[in-house]
Amino acid sequence: MGIERDRFLIVNADDFGQSTGVNEGVVATHERGIVTSASLMVRWPAAAAAAVYARARPTLSVGLHVDLGEWVRRGDEWRPLYEVVDLHDRVAIQAEMASQLTMFRDLLGRDPTHLDSHQHVHRSEPARSVCQRAAATLGVPLRWYSDAIRYCGAFYGQSGDGHPVPDAIRTPALIGTLARLPAGVTELGCHPATGDTAESMYGPERASELETLCDPAVRATLAEEGIVLCSFASLPERVV
């Protein structure tokens, strides 16, 4: 097979370590569904349990989910649920990035296989260049900024302004997304959990994602479409 013609899919679960429910969702979708990778939030109490599981499961690729804060929609504006650092302070972001990378290494005993960030805050400066520099130093992909790996965020149960879009995380929608995947390597983001995450803007949607990701019809679609599941740690040859 060659990556020019064939389709490879990384299914990456964000927020690993944020709560027991999220951990349970990642475990379930890795063992019974199609999740192949996860991104670890190292600052949260459940991160240690997530790391214990990951160290015993080499089939699960684990990256660093850089956590600089979370924002929720209140009326017509986004307001902070919590903020780790000022997103305009490059020095503070660099220090926090270094701290979270150290915590990741302490928990996992190795470097992350990939980098991304909570609520995609690294898409704006100065977080973008800080994360790009870290990814280059580590020699790993950074979400949205890898020439070889396309990111797909279609499997998400809210609109850009925070309104529920439940059909987007049901089986028919995911099957449609899979059927439309282009050639090469695609990362599909997801956020499974066993129940609500009360302190997160993304709560009840997580259980729906878990159900869909474990639906046998989804795996059957992968087989029918000839889509090969892989992870950041098991990328096809010639992908950098």
Condensed to tens digits (0 to 9), the pLDDT of residues 102-158 reads: 999 999 999 999 999 999 999 999 999 999 999 999 999 999 999 999 999 999 998
Which residue is catalytic, options 14, 15, 67, 116? Answer: 14
Domain CATH code at residue 166: 3.20.20.370
Residue with tokens 């490059």: 90
- Alpha carbon distances (Å) from 107 to 10, 42, 43, 82, 112: 23, 8, 11, 23, 11
Residue 103 lies in a domain: yes
The whole domain housing 47 covers: 7-230
Residue 236 lies in a domain: no
Residue 235 lies in a domain: no
**pLDDT score recorded for residue 80:** 86
Residue 14 is a catalytic residue? yes
32-36, 203-207, 228-232: which range is least confident on average? 203-207
Residue 23 lies in a domain: yes
Model confidence band, residue 192 (pLDDT cutoffs 50, 70, 90): very high
List the structure tokens of 151.
């990111």
Counted residue by residue, the chain has a size of 240
Domain count across the chain: 1
Q: Report the C-alpha gap between 186 and 188 in whole angstroms.
A: 6
List the structure tokens of 141.
């992909």
Position 163 pLDDT exceeds 90: no
